[in-house]
Structures are given as structure tokens and as C-alpha cells.
Amino acid sequence: MNDFSIMVREERPDYKAVNNGFQSLDIVELLSLIIGQGNDPTASTRQARQLINVCGGSLRAMTSRRTEDFEVVQGIGSKKAIALKAALELAKRIEHEAQAERTDFCSADSVWRYFRPILGTADHEEAHVLLMNNRFKLIKTVRISSGGLSETAVDVRVILREALLCNATTLTLVHNHPSGTTRPSRDDDNITLKLKKACETMRIYMVDHVIVTDAKYYSYAEEGKI
């Protein structure tokens, strides 16, 4: 796309989207539509290109950036930055919704793919529990802590109460490591053991404890530690 002061009609992202479909647009052109062209599509295209550069050319990296990071680009104010974050959040939720339609969650890979859109790029640690029936069909997910994983942050009684209330017979504990490493900590090990023992008492099968990052996962079950 030419970046001149005047953009011919056929080069405008909105014209191309209407006549050739959104799939014909590149990343910069799609971002320029979200930013809003107004009477100067060249300006929004230039801003979109700068945004991509700020994020190292990666859309996935963009999902973990704050609105303040977008505002370093001249012409990107708080409203445009918020619109960008909203669009990126929608994309993550579409992926998350698609994974929710899986037939079961008996494997660590299926759990990771389900939680990666919402936890993979999070800048803080969260713990969730997947509550399932005996065929590993999802009943519901519950966020049980935010900000860290420890025996004080994760109340095993809350997990068991939620499981009993929805008649869940199997469950999987999930949390993320914002650092990107999947190596479990001592707290991770302790809460895994504590929850497993509590589940055995209540005759609930603990399937796994999965540590999620954006690129990979760690499974206690696959490592033979549960």
C-alpha cells in the first residue's frame, strides 16, 4: 500500500474490505479500520504500521500490551487505544469459545488450548478449576484466585463446594505462569497434593493440574506427578 498524502480509492482499506472481503486486507489495513480513518485514511494506516512496529510485528504481543503502550504512537489517544484492546479481547474470546466446544477435556492439550487465549498473555497469575462429569464434559469453570497460587490463595473447600453444587465428578486445576516458564514451584506442588487428597476424600477424580503459558504447558498427569 502506498503511504502518500492522498490515497486512491482502490487502495483504501474500507473500499478493499467492501469489494474484496476482509480476508484481502493485511494486518496493517485491518488495524487502520479499527483505529478509524475519518477523512484521512493515510494517517490511520501510518499509525497502524507504527503500532505493529511497537509490538515487534506480532499481533500476539499486542494482546499483552497496555493501552498506555499504544498511546506512544502519535495520534493514538485513549479512545483509539481502548478500541484496539476491545478488538483484541474479542479475538481471544472467539478462540476461547471455539475451544469450549471440544468434546471433552480429558487431555492436558485440550485444557491448554481452552485457557491459552485468556491466560497465556495475562500479566498476572490466575487459578481456575474445570468442573466436569465422568465423561470429561465441561460443566463450568470457576476462577479461584488471582495474583498467585498458594495454599492461602487457593481455598480447597471452595473448589469442592463448587464441584458438589454442580454435581461434578471430575476436575482439573489450571493456572498460568506470566513469566513464560512452565516449571512448577513448591507452592504448585503443595496445592496439587492438598487438592488431590481432598478430592479422594470426596470421591471426586482430580484429572490434572495444568500450568499454562502462551507457548506451552506443564501437565502433572503427563509427568506422572498426580
Length of the chain, in residues = 226
Average pLDDT (90-99) is 73
Beta carbons of 58 and 31 less than 8 angstroms apart: no
Counting beta carbons within 10 angstroms of the beta carbon of residue 205, is it exposed (0 to 12), middle (13 to 18) or buried (19 or more)? Answer: middle
The side-by-side arrangement of strands in the sheet containing 217-219 is 138-146, 126-132, 170-176, 205-212, 217-219
Predicted TM-score of the model (pTM): 0.65
Helix (H) or strand (E) holding 138: strand 138-146
19/36: higher pLDDT: 19
Predicted confidence (pLDDT) per residue in 205-214, tens digit: 999 999 999 9
Counting beta carbons within 10 angstroms of the beta carbon of residue 90, is it exposed (0 to 12), middle (13 to 18) or buried (19 or more)? Answer: exposed
- Please provide the average confidence, as pLDDT, over all residues in the chain: 87
State the amino acid at position 84 in one-letter form: L
Residue 5 has pLDDT above 70, yes or no: no
Distance CA(161)–CA(138), nearest Å, equals: 17
What region does 65 belong to: left with phi over 0, alpha with psi -120 to 50, or beta? beta
What structural domains does the chain harbor?
9-96 (1.10.150), 102-219 (3.40.140.10)
146/201: higher pLDDT: 201
Predicted confidence (pLDDT) per residue in 110-133, tens digit: 999 999 988 988 888 999 999 999
